[in-house]
Amino acid sequence: MARGAWHCLLCCGVFLWAAYGIVPEPQNLRVHSDMLESILQWDPPNFHKENVTYRVQHRKDYDNTFTDLCNRTEVTECNVSRIQIYGSSFLRVRTEFQNNTSNWVCITFTPLADTKISPPDIQVEASQPSVLSVQLTDPYFIHNGARYSIKVFYSTVAYRIHIWKKDYSDKQGRKLNTSFTFETISGLEPGTTYCLKAQAFIEEFNKSGEWSEPFCIRTSNASYAGINPVLLILILPLVLILFSCCCFMIFRIYRRIKYVFFPSYSLPQHFKEFLNKPSYSSQFLTSQIQGEDYTYEKITILSEELKNGGKESEEQLNNAKQQLKISQEETYNLKTIQTI
């Protein structure tokens, strides 16, 4: 007989009941454990009496002390999740009716080895043509009201990924083993729909977890397809900022070149005022109308030949002086007329 069976017999204490057959034992003990949420279940005995109750106890391996988990319960199950998860525990159940009890029925339970492991969450993205990026999320335990990753209780956690074409059986395709939660699957056919599923594998117990539901996705068939939207959102503002900086630098360089090769000069203020005034003829007519006094003299230009020439030159000089004198007299007469 195996060592576990001997322990079970010892813990139950197989003794003949004094009133044999009065209270029968519970039947078909089993533990349903899913991610360390463990429920001990049994079938009721063939005992047609009312007010039948049950007592459930557990004992840690190599420990002689039993502890009550459920006492005088009327249902045929007991939550045993609060027992220690490391090592093995011995669970026993008996039937109780009034002051009579049945023999103990015992079962051995090892939480970490016997509990079911939920499948990992799986996300798949067609990041590049003929390539799928697979992101796995570790399953987690809820123990004593706290949430723990599966890697807290198991030191060696690996994952198996099964991939196959959608139109083919899942027995075909290929399987990948990885110790990481991210994996890139390459060498696929472009524009083809593939289905994937994953499971956790506990190497220390040689224990496989549950497979996830198949997730199907189509690979991209263009070299530019599969751009990550998050990456695009991050790149777009950066491109806009760089574009604005380039435009600003180009504008500054343009202004500098224009300043060097095409300088802009500003006319002095008195030139601007002069250009804004009416023309000479208009000023003269206006001054005549308003009676302003302007004196104009005739200018005679004498060349050096006339100054240094002979008799003929002297006569021309005298004529010029005579004309200058006449001009002065005319100017004087004009002033006199304006004064009158």
Show me where the domains of the chain are located.
3-113, 121-218, 281-310+317-339
Higher pLDDT, 331 or 18: 331
Residue 95 confidence (pLDDT) above 60: yes
Of 131, 243, 135, 134, the C-alpha closest to 192 is: 131
Token pair listed for 25: 């034992």
Question: What is 3-113's CATH topology?
Answer: Immunoglobulin-like (2.60.40)
Token pair listed for 194: 């593939």
Highest mean pLDDT among 25-34, 252-261, 263-272: 25-34
**Which residues pair with residue 57 across a beta bridge?**
68, 92
CA atoms of 90 and 108, how far apart (whole Å): 5
CA atoms of 133 and 176, how far apart (whole Å): 13
Fold match between domain 3-113 and domain 121-218: yes
In tens, the pLDDT along 284-336 reads 444 444 444 545 555 555 555 545 555 555 666 677 667 767 766 666 565 56
Question: What is 121-218's CATH topology?
Answer: Immunoglobulin-like (2.60.40)
pLDDT of residue 222: 60
In tens, the pLDDT along 98-112 reads 888 999 999 999 999
Model confidence at 9, in pLDDT bands (50, 70, 90)?
A: very low
